[in-house]
Amino acid sequence: MYSLFKPALFRINPEAAHDLTINSLQILGHCLGALKPMQGRACEVAGLRFANPIGLAAGLDKDAQAVSGLSRLGFGHLEVGTVTPRAQSGNPKPRVFRLEKDTALINRLGFNNAGIDALVARLTNQNYQGVIGVNIGKNKDTPNDAAYQDYVTCIKKAAPVADYISVNISSPNTPGLRDLAGANTILDVIKPVLEARSELKNRKGTYLPVFVKLAPDFGDADLKQVLEVLKVASIDAVILTNTTVSRDGLLSPHCEEAGGLSGAPLALRAEHCLKLAAETLEGSLPIVSVGGVMSGEDACRRLELGASLVQLYTGLIYRGPGLVKDAIRETRC
């Protein structure tokens, strides 16, 4: 079915194609309602029950506009956001580029979103039975030394509509954001978030897990150090990885555009980070693997390498909704 729509979608610019898709999924959700996640290899991660290990990565539904429609694709969890305290328009367009020869995307959206209040309003009374993660960030004009306040504002507001919170300190498109994720700085954000969390409950009225999403562009020693810090920080899972600023081995026009690269060229790096995290964390924290998962076999391999959950984004653009079902089926074993 997707093979019928894909050529038309790929003829329009990527951001317009994205908006059209979200609007269509929103209408689908309004008309048909949410669907239960497809049953696959069920698992428990951070105290949450997942009907299958396959989820939607952050950034596709930044404002939680299409949760019901997206639920119909079968995902076990949907991560919405990144959302910031105040609405912001993001970087000037064009800011998303297809790299077709590389089965990849480059984006420099810059946390365009309608703000936390709009997201909470949309998720209030959402009856999706899968797990909902809300990915939180800081506004562009918030200086780094006050960034923790943006994260605390967002977690407090999002808690009643979220099953888990994901802290995004790894987007390459908000200047200086990644400086918050060094071994010496990461607790400046994470500690206040965890303090705020201690007084919060999630949308089911139970413990609110906090996941931390990291970039793929650390050197091995630095990534290990950050993971060692997180290991003892009372967070609940690590998400690896966000998009990369690396541009190795690309063939497509647009490959030199600024922004974060996602899709097939990120796979090796994401797998390397996963292996390193599995070694370092030794089972003390679950790992959510994301980056370049383009097939059911890719998803299966991530679980074999030590991931508890797997997320998809760019694979969906190139493979369509069939990828979700393939990944759920392949990971049943």
Ligand X SMILES: Cc1cc2nc3c(=O)[nH]c(=O)nc-3n(C[C@H](O)[C@H](O)[C@H](O)COP(=O)(O)O)c2cc1C
Residues designated as active site? 171
In angstroms, what is the minimal distance from the CB of 112 to ligand X?
9
Residue choice 82, 88, 153, 308 for contact with ligand X (CB under 6 A): 82
For the record, the structure tokens of 126 come out as: 């959402």
In this complex, which beta carbon is closest to ligand X, that of residue 69 or of residue 315? 315
137-159 per-residue burial string, b: 16 or more CB within 10 A, e: under 16:
bbbbebebeebbebbbbbbebbb
Residue choice 29, 37, 59, 74 for contact with ligand X (CB under 6 A): 59
Q: ω before 82 within 30° of 0 (cis)?
A: yes
For the record, the structure tokens of 141 come out as: 């004009």
Residue whose C-alpha is closest to residue 139's, from 115, 156, 157? 115
Q: How far apart are the C-alpha atoms of 267 and 294, rounded to whole Å?
A: 9
| 314 touching ligand X, by CB under 6 A | yes
| 107 touching ligand X, by CB under 6 A | yes
| 105 touching ligand X, by CB under 6 A | yes
Residue 318: Cβ within 10 Å count: 18
Query: Which range in 29-37, 65-73, 248-256, 313-321 contacts ligand X by CB under 6 A?
Result: 313-321
In this complex, which beta carbon is closest to ligand X, that of residue 36 or of residue 327? 327
Sign of CA dihedral 143, 187, 282, 276: positive
Residue whose C-alpha is closest to residue 290's, from 84, 37, 53? 53
Contact string 116-145 vs ligand X (x = CB under 6 A): -------------------x----------
**Residues in region 283-312 near ligand X by CB under 6 A:** 290-293, 312
In this complex, which beta carbon is closest to ligand X, that of residue 196 or of residue 212? 212
Residue choice 37, 76, 110, 263 for contact with ligand X (CB under 6 A): 263
* Residue closest to ligand X, measured at CB: 59
For the record, the structure tokens of 125 come out as: 């009374």
| 21 touching ligand X, by CB under 6 A | no
Interface size with ligand X, residues (CB under 6 A): 26
- Residue pair 137/88 in contact (Cβ under 8 Å)? The answer is no
| 266 touching ligand X, by CB under 6 A | yes
Q: What does each C-alpha distance from 178 to 166, 243, 314 come to in angstroms? A: 15, 12, 22
Q: Which residues pair with 49 in a beta bridge?
A: 44
Residues in the chain: 333
| 56 touching ligand X, by CB under 6 A | no
**Residues in region 206-235 near ligand X by CB under 6 A:** 213
In angstroms, what is the minimal distance from the CB of 25 to ligand X?
15
Could you list the residues that contact ligand X (CB under 6 A)?
A: 57-59, 62, 82, 96, 105, 107, 109, 135, 168, 171, 213, 242-243, 262-263, 266, 290-293, 312-315
